Amino acid sequence: MASLSGSRPPLFVTLLLFLALALSAEAKVRRYRFHIAYKYKSPDCFQKLSITVNGQSPGPTIIAEQGDTVVVEVQNGLLTENTAVHWHGIRQIGTPWSDGTEGISQCPITPGETFVYKFVVDRAGTYIYHAHYGMQRSAGLYGLIKVAVPEGTVEPFAYDYDRSIVVNDWWHKSTYEQATGLSSVPFAFVGEPQSLLINGRGRFNCSLPSASGAVCNLTNPDCSPSVFTVVPGKTYRFRIACITSLSAISFGFEGHNMTVVEADGYYVKPFVVDSLYLYSGETYSVLVKADQDPSRNYWASVNVVSRKPDTPTGTAILNYYPNHPSRAPPTAPPAGPLWNDTAARLNQSVAIRAHPDHVEAPPAASDRTIVLLNTQNKVDGGHVRWALNNVSFTLPDTPYLVALKYKLKRAFDARPPPESYDYRGYDIRSAPPNPNATSSSSIYRLGFNTTVDVVLQNANTLNPNNSETHPWHLHGHDFWVLGHGAGKFDPSAHPAGVFNLVDPIQKNTVPVHPYGWTALRFRADNPGVWAFHCHVEAHYFMGMGLVFEEGVEKIGRLPDAIMGCGESKRLLRP
Amino acid sequence: MASLSGSRPPLFVTLLLFLALALSAEAKVRRYRFHIAYKYKSPDCFQKLSITVNGQSPGPTIIAEQGDTVVVEVQNGLLTENTAVHWHGIRQIGTPWSDGTEGISQCPITPGETFVYKFVVDRAGTYIYHAHYGMQRSAGLYGLIKVAVPEGTVEPFAYDYDRSIVVNDWWHKSTYEQATGLSSVPFAFVGEPQSLLINGRGRFNCSLPSASGAVCNLTNPDCSPSVFTVVPGKTYRFRIACITSLSAISFGFEGHNMTVVEADGYYVKPFVVDSLYLYSGETYSVLVKADQDPSRNYWASVNVVSRKPDTPTGTAILNYYPNHPSRAPPTAPPAGPLWNDTAARLNQSVAIRAHPDHVEAPPAASDRTIVLLNTQNKVDGGHVRWALNNVSFTLPDTPYLVALKYKLKRAFDARPPPESYDYRGYDIRSAPPNPNATSSSSIYRLGFNTTVDVVLQNANTLNPNNSETHPWHLHGHDFWVLGHGAGKFDPSAHPAGVFNLVDPIQKNTVPVHPYGWTALRFRADNPGVWAFHCHVEAHYFMGMGLVFEEGVEKIGRLPDAIMGCGESKRLLRP
């Protein structure tokens, strides 16, 4: 451009430049390289081998604008372990092979290989990426995706600055040890996390006996608390992602209200809370005004809810400029709401509605209703597993997408899984009278472009007087949240009265509360094979999931890169 | 057969039966199923997640007769990790795809998959199987293969009973932690093992500070010592396999001599020792007569040699019947020979000759001599690696066998690696003057049916006054051990004078001693792609290996099962 300086460029050059800029603003390609490797990290001061992206956990944030194409070259630098990375909340319209779900949309990426994920981020919002293989997400492979609205688009709320928060729970045992316990007889649960991490930082008490024999160092910079600096009087949008392995959490800024404005990429009818419940796989945006006494700092705090907590409050510092960022607030970190106040959590779930100016009404009726009772069971010689309608999900070693497209018949169980359970006879408040269940890789095949209702029915676990919270995540779609309820859902009576068909929020992840039910609706309009599962890492591992197929016949030739494992080796023709 | 009882079968039935029995005795098919999974084990009383075969580490012993076909279905039950199993000492004549070397003969076996290894055990002897992927061998995936001579064949020694011993060294850190340290800058070595295991049993001192925070229990039956019960006056053949990850060892039975009669499946000109040196990957048979005071038990003991020991003596009990098997000997376990007596170890190496009645003379001359200087170097930004002639070996993510057979040109570096080094100018007694080296996946391509000499030249590591022992293992062949020497080998002067062409032993694994050299010869007569590498797990991981190719054009269609990874995905034609 130097040659043009001092003289006015001809009109056509100006026009071309304008067009080029306009086009690039509309649909940029955002390229990332993710090198996945083990690295020693001390996120809570306790040294542990973590799975990192480019040396970091959480990994780098992917930043894009609505309509952009994101290309991520994932290089597997693990020694003997495969991987696969899921782009949580991205629907993968037209790119079902880029969903990153091992066993479903692709073969695992073997060590040394580079797999290129390419997809369009078609909706603005706050999303997540994370490993979708074994329990690698728990080992640290996760991060954020921030998709901005197109330039010139006005969002239904205003703020001065945009900040991101990702919350995780953290164990000191390796995911190998955890998974071995989960699949052993007798069963050994992972237990409560040692720490809660905010943007990958927490704090463990190194003087505890359980830290002995380990490198635990409270002065390690890895575990210095996260700091969110705010300028008094300004309003902040905090994007908060919950990517916990197990814990449902409450999150708050000490002494500050939060106005909830976005959930899973959809605008919410604003509501104000002092503490926000989040479930694994959910994202929210909240607005916070820095309107408190500016002479001090405040805590950001995370606490476990729904399970009896045995984990210290996770903290970060809300730093009022110009106080020193590391100056501890003069107060104790808030303990958050009562852990076992199920009604309050149900209330929040019900309060989340679509923003009045952004309502997209659901189809008025569904073509099919699948009712899923989740129970804890004993399968295959006493292994504790989760089941849906008495079927515990097992992943095949050939991805469904490949098996269905190329008719590899031995790849999975072709018998359809059950559509419902004995909802009249089953007592959801007791442990299963017969704890036996079966394992299967069977899937739900959906009519293309049909509307599907799914009702998640919670129940008692194997232990008396215990029902857990399960955040369910659907791949390839957003769904309308038609309703939440306490107790047993009656598919013959409930829908007319209790479904919200007026302004339901759309989401990709939604909790089902203890002893409660959650109903959702979606259009099976995205050709592919899509997981739907509890987002608790251990629960999916223990069989709490299923797979939907729709329109697989509309998909063209699959990329070679997703194949090579299991039955897909039969497609080798050297 | 019930219908024939009471009446004499017709002659042709008798003949058929006889033929069937004779054939089955000559060439049985021995079928095994190996389920590979993580399991908590306490082999030295300290609980650790181990990789097991059918729940065991060491895994079950494969028992066959010379000429049998062994079929092992290896089912990968690891969560996110691949595997591959090598049949160490089996030449895989006609079955190069069954060698189990990930990146060389096959793609890794992904979780959930079953890979069927099928091969003929064409020579009687004592062999090993173990993982050949990452550092999984160190994690516990190993076991023995015992191949008996055909019925009626007389061996050149006599004994009453046949017993097996496998020795391993053991760390409490996971192989992930070990490998992360090895590939980090700054470098963190695995260090000396915590224990030495005899048949998978050792003993750690649970009161040591390093046991705190762990489950360490001296009464755990996993770590009760191995017992070898002998009847006074009887002679025992002990097959001893050394499958250590790092350690060179001395092994002995307190108060008893051992007569060495077999090495790596070849009969040895018998010689008597009170302590036998073994190097990782070697197997021996020794004869021991139970001719000592029968009123007590004796120790079997293992000690580290060549590296300054920081590991307690590994022990088992030689139990003289009818003493109680667990009765401790009244003496302290033998400390073994001096750890740094290199001359004694070299002497043993030189003493191992072919049995006079079983000499198979080597070809009188070689067609090619490859001289390999091994050095420790810094590669790619300060990573400590091993190199041969300044090239540090890296495995490609497409197996050579597939890449060569199907001409996948991007799979590996096609430039030939160097045949020799500056043997006149290089000072093997100093650290490398320029520690930089390069990494490469290049291979040595051998003329089919040519005779190849390899001279391994040891040198100083990066640290002053330090040279290590490296046990080199060749896949796909046995080689003649032409000579061992101290100091620098001069390829222009040495061979005529120092090579033993009269009665060299054949082996598949041989040590090169500190500051010494070892020369070996083999015929490149087995179509395939064959690893040749230091059998120290960390050393191979750090680049101390290479690959030979010979006659790959003579190999027919490769099994689909070995493909699917890396560039071999290009062979997918759905």
Residues of A in contact with B83 (CB under 8 A): 80
Q: Which residue has tokens 């339901």?
A: A504
User: Alpha-carbon distance B322 to B336, whole Å?
Assistant: 27
pLDDT for B7 beyond 80: no
Which of B110, B133, B180 lies at the smallest CB-CB distance from A40? B180
User: Alpha-carbon distance B476 to B473, whole Å?
Assistant: 10
Beta pairing class for A528-534 and A470-474: antiparallel
Mean pLDDT within B215-227: 96
Q: B519 Cβ partners below 8 Å, 6+ apart? A: B453, B454, B455, B456, B481, B482, B483, B484, B489, B494, B495, B498, B499
B293 burial level (CB within 10 Å; 0-12, 13-18, 19+): exposed
Three-class DSSP category at B12: helix
Range B161-355 classified under CATH 2.60.40.420: yes
pLDDT computed for residue A16 by the predictor: 52
The predicted-structure confidence for B68-84, as pLDDT tens digits, reads as follows 999 999 999 998 999 99
A380 vs B298, residue with greater confidence = B298
Mean pLDDT within B549-557: 97
Three-class DSSP category at B55: coil
What residue type is assigned to position B449 of the chain? N
pLDDT for B495 beyond 90: no
Q: Which residue has tokens 């009265």?
A: A497
Measured between CA atoms, the residue of chain A closest to residue B211 is A213
- DSSP string for A453-508: EEEEE----SSTT----EEEEESS--EEEEEEEES---TTTHHHHH---SSBPEES
**What's the distance, CA A550 to chain centroid?**
22
Cα distance between the two ends of chain B: 50
Contact check, Cβ <8 Å, A210/B213: yes
**Which CATH entry fits the domain spanning B24-148: 2.40.30.170, 3.40.47.10, 2.60.40.420, 3.40.50.10330?**
2.60.40.420
CA distances from A280 to A91, A287, A473, B59, B389 (A): 18, 21, 9, 40, 53
Q: How far is A467 from chain B (nearest CA, A)?
A: 28
Beta pairing class for B470-474 and B528-534: antiparallel
Look up the CATH superfamily of A27-148: Cupredoxins -  blue copper proteins (2.60.40.420)
pLDDT computed for residue B209 by the predictor: 87
- DSSP string for B246-300: S-EEEEEETT--EEEEEETTEEEEEEEESSEEE-TT-EEEEEEE--S-TTS-EEE
Q: How far is A106 from chain B (nearest CA, A)?
A: 12
Measured between CA atoms, the residue of chain B closest to residue A566 is B113
List the one residue out of A200, A207, A470, A448 whose CA is nearest residue A349: A470
Contact check, Cβ <8 Å, A574/B565: no
pLDDT in tens, chain A (574 residues): 333 333 444 555 455 555 544 445 568 999 999 999 999 999 999 999 999 999 999 999 999 999 999 999 999 999 999 999 999 999 999 999 999 999 999 999 999 999 999 999 999 999 999 999 999 999 999 999 999 999 999 999 999 999 999 999 999 999 999 999 999 999 999 999 999 999 999 999 999 988 888 899 999 999 999 999 999 999 999 999 999 999 999 999 999 999 999 999 999 999 999 999 999 999 999 999 999 999 999 999 999 999 999 999 999 999 999 999 999 999 999 999 999 999 999 999 999 999 999 999 999 999 999 999 999 999 988 999 999 999 999 999 999 999 999 999 899 999 999 999 999 999 999 999 999 999 999 999 999 999 999 999 999 999 999 999 999 999 999 999 999 999 999 988 866 678 999 999 999 999 999 999 999 999 999 999 999 999 999 999 999 999 999 999 999 999 999 999 999 999 998 8
Which of A112, A136, A209 lies at the smallest CB-CB distance from B80? A136
Token couple for B40: 């908590």
Contact check, Cβ <8 Å, A174/B176: yes
Q: Which CATH class is domain B360-571?
A: mainly beta
Residues of A in contact with B136 (CB under 8 A): 80
A450 burial level (CB within 10 Å; 0-12, 13-18, 19+): middle
User: Alpha-carbon distance B475 to B333, whole Å?
Assistant: 36
Contact check, Cβ <8 Å, B563/A569: yes
User: Alpha-carbon distance A243 to A280, whole Å?
Assistant: 5
Q: What are residue B206's phi and psi, to 5 degrees?
A: -65, -10
Contact check, Cβ <8 Å, A214/B213: yes
List the one residue out of B489, B497, B540, B545 whose CA is nearest residue B515: B489
Within this chain, domains B24-148 and B360-571 share the same CATH topology: yes
Domain definitions of chain A by residue range: 27-148, 161-356, 360-556
List the one residue out of A480, A498, A481, A489 whose CA is nearest residue A517: A489
Residues of A in contact with B110 (CB under 8 A): 82, 107-108, 110, 397, 565-566
Residues of B in contact with A113 (CB under 8 A): 397, 565-566
Contact check, Cβ <8 Å, B107/A112: no
Contact check, Cβ <8 Å, B113/A397: yes
pLDDT for B24 beyond 60: no
> In the predicted model, what is the mean pLDDT of chain B?
94
Q: Are B314 and B167 in contact (CB under 8 A)?
A: yes
Its ipTM equals 0.92
Residues of B in contact with A38 (CB under 8 A): 176, 179-180
Q: How far is A83 from chain B (nearest CA, A)?
A: 8
Q: Which CATH class is domain A360-556?
A: mainly beta
Contact check, Cβ <8 Å, B563/A557: no
CA distances from B47 to A185, B44, B220 (A): 17, 8, 9
Residues of B in contact with A569 (CB under 8 A): 560-561, 563-564
Which of B112, B136, B574 lies at the smallest CB-CB distance from A80? B136
User: Alpha-carbon distance B542 to B246, whole Å?
Assistant: 13
B67 burial level (CB within 10 Å; 0-12, 13-18, 19+): middle
Residues of A in contact with B406 (CB under 8 A): 574
Q: Are B41 and B47 in contact (CB under 8 A)?
A: yes
pLDDT computed for residue A12 by the predictor: 53
User: Alpha-carbon distance B280 to A572, whole Å?
Assistant: 38
Contact check, Cβ <8 Å, A82/B81: yes
Q: Which CATH class is domain A161-356?
A: mainly beta
Q: Are B128 and B53 in contact (CB under 8 A)?
A: no
Partner residues linked to B289 by β-bridges: B235
pLDDT for B498 beyond 70: yes
CA angle A278, A281, A283 (to 5 degrees): 60
**DSSP conformational letter for A12:** H
Contact check, Cβ <8 Å, B83/A82: no
Q: How far is B510 from chain A (nearest CA, A)?
A: 27
Contact check, Cβ <8 Å, B571/A568: no
Token couple for B123: 């020579």
Map A147-194 to HEC letters.
EECCCCCCCCCCCCEEEEEEEEEECCCCHHHHHHHHCCCCCCCCCCCC
CA distances from B265 to A138, A255, B59 (A): 47, 77, 20
Half-sphere exposure of A173 (CA within 13 A, CB side): 20
Best residue of A130, A569, A571 to probe chain B, by most B CBs closer than 10 Å:
A569
pLDDT computed for residue B493 by the predictor: 80
Residues of A in contact with B405 (CB under 8 A): 574
